[in-house]
Amino acid sequence: MADFRTIEILVPASSGKLLTDTEDLIRFWMRVELGPTDECWPWTGAMFREGYGQFISNGRSWVAHRIAYQDCVEPIPLRRTVRIVCGNRACCNPRHLRLGGNGRSRNQDTKTLFLDASKKLG
């Protein structure tokens, strides 16, 4: 199998990312099984009970796919989620990650829209 572990890490100190320490980012990516860009890149380190990757830095636990998204795509706005579109909770491939909503379920969003519409009608 080819070695896909060629990663350039450039993180300015004021980037607003979850991890800014280069050594932490190197440790993080060493726990991701990198592969072709269209396949899952599974987290090989510790896992949360729900099946999501867990990375510990400075005594704090981080969800692995959120670190991958912020390191490769963009900073995550406050109160936003990162969805794993492939369905593999251990996946850290940035191509399989999408910025989601504010954590509310679809039912809550639909209910809110319905209530707002009923106020306007009533």
**CATH number of the domain at 22-121, out of 3.90.930, 3.40.390, 3.10.590, 3.90.75?**
3.90.75
Q: Give dist(CA 20, CA 47) in Å, integer.
A: 22
For the chain, state the CA radius of gyration: 17
pLDDT digits (tens, 9 = 90+) for 41-95: 999 999 999 999 999 998 899 999 999 999 999 999 988 999 999 999 999 999 9
pLDDT at site 1: 42
Q: What are the residue boundaries of the structural domains of the chain, listed by start?
A: 22-121
User: What is the full DSSP assignment across 21-89?
Assistant: -HHHHHHHHHTB----TTS--BB-S-B-TTS-BEEEETTEEEEHHHHHHHHHT-PPPTT--EEETTS-T
pLDDT band, very low/low/confident/very high, at 17 (cuts 50, 70, 90): low
What was the pLDDT predicted at 114?
Answer: 35
